[in-house]
Amino acid sequence: MADALARKLGARSRIPSVRPGPTSSVKRPAPAPASDGEPAANVVPAADGAADDQPPAPPAYDAGPNVARSSAEIFRARFETIEQQARIKRSHQFVAAAVAAIVRGEYHAAADAYRQAAELDPDDTTLVRKLEEVEKLARRYRR
């Protein structure tokens, strides 16, 4: 890490770097033959002629055009989630304003605030019910 930082800063490192030698000098042990004298099925001959007992690498992943489509879908879903959260937060702010207006006795203002909250979050049935109650109070106590 210090070596990388020193290179980044343009200074020579005082720590000597240790690099492995060439791979051709590494001797690999020969795999044990199968019971019928044939080499094991997962043995792939290495480039230098020695056998390598590791399975072949999986094929390269080619996502193709589906990646762009799924990325767009992921982005759209995330945007819709954020948008829904913002609407709910704004709805809660209108509910708080409605409660404050009820405390002050301003039922028309409370009805307006509940109406705006219900428009932002139409699935919330309690908002619709509270809006109806406050509208009744607003009609009873007209300005």
User: For 48-105, what is each residue's pLDDT tens digit?
Assistant: 555 556 666 666 655 555 555 688 889 999 999 999 999 999 999 999 999 999 999 9
Does residue 93 contact residue 74 with C-beta atoms inside 8 Å? no
Domains of the chain: 70-140 (1.25.40)
pLDDT at 140 > cutoff 70: yes
Residue 17: its pLDDT value, please? Answer: 52
pLDDT of residue 143: 60
Q: Please check the confidence at residue 13 and state whether its pLDDT lies above 50.
A: no
Three-state DSSP at 44 gives: strand
Model confidence at 118, pLDDT cuts 50, 70, 90, reads very high
